[in-house]
Amino acid sequence: MKDLEQLARSRLSDRRFLHVKGVAATAADLARRFGADEQEALTAAWLHDMFREVKEPEMRALFLEVGLEPPPGAADTWHGPLCVARLERDFDAQVSAQVRDAVAWHTLGHPRMGLLAQVLYVADAAEPLRDYEGVRRIREAAARDLEQAVATVSDMTIAHLLERRSEISVQTVELRNLMWSRVRAREVRDDADNDARGRLVHA
Ligand SMILES: [Fe+2]
Ligand SMILES: [Fe+2]
């Protein structure tokens, strides 16, 4: 596999390269803390925006060249799936299914996202150069609970798209619902445990 950091530097503007560098550092940190593979997290992070600065007609041509149609939805959500479609051809990259899913789903999210994909999704939204209203809430959630951070990122994405009257992917909504339902289920369990412990203490 080629040196992905060098490759990102050569393909991206300075501004975007610094974003990707921040995502790599944040993804490695989240991977360490939540038990994902750190090397895989770095690979996914260096890859995720390789096609972010390619214009729509060229992206369309790059999909067609490997026998694929562009996915449904806005063109600014194509760069992840396009990267996965062209991994072998452009980067000589053999990567795991987890890395492929993480890169493919980093913009829209997906209810089947595993740990590594969750790490990239949150790192992309929370890297140190991100500066938007609400980014602190994502960082605070990411300090404690990865699923809550994923849920918070998808909430904010959905709110942003609603405000702009843009299309909202069903994948994003399904991910959001699933993550909050898991967070709630865990909170209910923790409350029950605390109650039980409280009863023991007072017994
Ligand atoms: Fe992206
Ligand atoms: Fe990104």
The total domain count for the chain is 1
- Structural domain of 22: 4-202
**Separation of 104 CA from ligand 2 center, angstroms?**
12
Distance of alpha carbon 61 from alpha carbon 75, whole angstroms? 13
**Separation of 76 CA from ligand 1 center, angstroms?**
8
H/E stretch holding 31 reads helix 14-34
Helix (H, G, I), strand (E, B) or coil at 13: coil
What pLDDT was estimated at residue 35? 98
Angle between helices 14-34 and 4-11 (to 10 degrees): 150
Give the angle subtended at the CA of 124 by the CAs of 65 and 61, to the nearest 5°: 10
CATH number of the domain at 166, please: 1.10.3210.10
Reading the chain (203 residues) residue by residue, the pLDDT tens digits are: 569 999 999 999 999 999 999 999 999 999 999 999 999 999 999 999 999 999 999 999 999 999 999 999 999 999 999 999 999 999 988 899 999 999 999 999 999 999 999 999 999 999 999 999 999 999 999 999 999 999 999 999 999 999 999 999 999 999 999 999 999 999 998 888 888 888 877 76
Q: Please provide residue 142's backbone torsions phi and psi, each rounded to the nearest 5 degrees.
A: -65, -20
**Separation of 19 CA from ligand 2 center, angstroms?**
7
**Separation of 157 CA from ligand 1 center, angstroms?**
13
**Separation of 91 CA from ligand 2 center, angstroms?**
18
